[in-house]
Amino acid sequence: MKHSLYICPSGISALEYIRKEEMLTSAGPAKALEDFFLHSDDASVMKASAEANSLLRMGVKKGDKVVFLCSDTEEGVLVASALTRLLRNRAGCDASFKRIKGLQTRDRKSFEREGITNLTETVIDEVEANRWQYRIILNITAGYKATVPYMTFIGMIFHLPIRYIFERSESIIELPPIPIDFDLERLKRLDPVIDRISSDYISVDEFLEETGISYKDMERDIGDILIEEDGLLTLRPTGRILYRRYLQIKGNRLFISPTVTKKLDSGSYDRKLFERLFAKMRDPVHLQSKLHPEVKRKGKLDLDCYKAGSTNERIFFHVKEKEKAIYICDIYMHDEYEMVINDGTLLWERFQRNEHAFREYTP
């Protein structure tokens, strides 16, 4: 069973609590917060801190990972730092925090243009770096309420569960991964201008010239992810999220082993069905959502198993993340694969010896 990674926007509820309870001393708020977390029992800590209340009730434990995303303020950093030490000591997990530049409430424009962009980029970076090692959970209990729609949208786009606890409730509310698909291929139209439009404005005329599309087509096909102001264009925050999702698919390559080629050529397997599944496997989010982990637990194999749904087809594969390459090593029907998972044939080492003979699959 995978350990969990909790990605958590953080606020300053714990600091507000010790102020309200008049626990501040001449040593300053950092020391007061540190002493409170060190000497208080779980019930008191959970009463004071929305972050601790949610994470401890969610069962964070040793082997798990927690990343706090704090505001671009001294108080935000102070509390996130104290929460990091609290979780390390009390839950034994790997906890850390990241200060999100521009995430503050003093300057609305900076919050919208810089803070939200940096928040979503940081969350997606964490997802991409940890998706295969951890079960990722977005905990949206704490932090600025204005971040909740964007965190929820990331959960939808990247098929991640979202959890929160309302106020000081004891009940965990979970929104499971939502099987929503978007037409990501339309975003390839942004490739020629993405470096500039993702961080700044460019003129509409320049955008149309460099992408080669008409204004009418722009409005119809990608107008929902763009902001147009006074003849200038930039990406909406949701557009940035979708483009990052598109980049996960762009450039991914599939390779098929001689074993798979032979089976498909034999006529004993439905070539069209398997090839439709191969095409879907280019998407790492889809691939991760269709893993069949029980196979690894009960068999002697190290290849991952793809199970499309309530179907009989099983596809065994190996991923090279850095190369953005997926190696499809073998295919079986349900009744067949259960007979071979313990015979040592579904090992990447065995297929790797003949890696040069894999052919690239193109739909």
Q: What's the CA gap between 79 and 65, in Å, rounded?
A: 18
Report pLDDT for 169: 66
C-alpha dist (Å) from residue 145 to 1, 106, 115, 148: 32, 15, 13, 5
Considering the domain architecture, whether residues 22 and 79 belong to the same structural domain is answered as yes
CATH number at residue 81: 3.40.50.10770
Domain end call among 249, 271, 290:
249
Nearby residues of 297 by Cβ (< 8 Å), 6 or more positions away: none
Q: What's the CA gap between 343 and 71, in Å, rounded?
A: 53
Reduced to 3 states (helix: H, G, I; strand: E, B; else coil), residue 140 is coil
Specify the pTM. Answer: 0.84
Considering the domain architecture, whether residues 72 and 120 belong to the same structural domain is answered as yes
Residue-number span of the structural domain to which 194 is assigned:
184-249
Considering the domain architecture, whether residues 27 and 164 belong to the same structural domain is answered as yes
Pair of tokens at residue 308: 């499309």
Considering the domain architecture, whether residues 305 and 333 belong to the same structural domain is answered as yes
Considering the domain architecture, whether residues 50 and 145 belong to the same structural domain is answered as yes
Considering the domain architecture, whether residues 47 and 62 belong to the same structural domain is answered as yes
Domain end call among 199, 227, 249:
249
For residue 135, the number of C-alpha atoms closer than 13 Å in the C-beta half-sphere is 13
Considering the domain architecture, whether residues 170 and 198 belong to the same structural domain is answered as no
Domain end call among 229, 249, 269:
249
**pLDDT tens for the 363 residues of the chain, in order:** 789 999 999 999 999 999 998 888 878 899 999 999 999 999 999 999 999 999 999 999 999 999 999 999 999 999 999 999 999 999 999 999 999 999 998 888 888 888 999 999 999 999 999 988 899 999 999 999 999 999 999 999 999 999 999 766 678 999 888 767 778 888 888 999 998 888 789 999 999 999 999 999 999 989 999 989 899 999 998 999 999 998 888 888 999 999 999 999 999 999 999 999 999 999 888 888 898 888 877 778 899 999 988 889 999 999 998 888 999 999 999 888 888 888 888 999 999 999 999 999 987
Reduced to 3 states (helix: H, G, I; strand: E, B; else coil), residue 256 is strand
In the block, residue with structure tokens 């067949």: 336
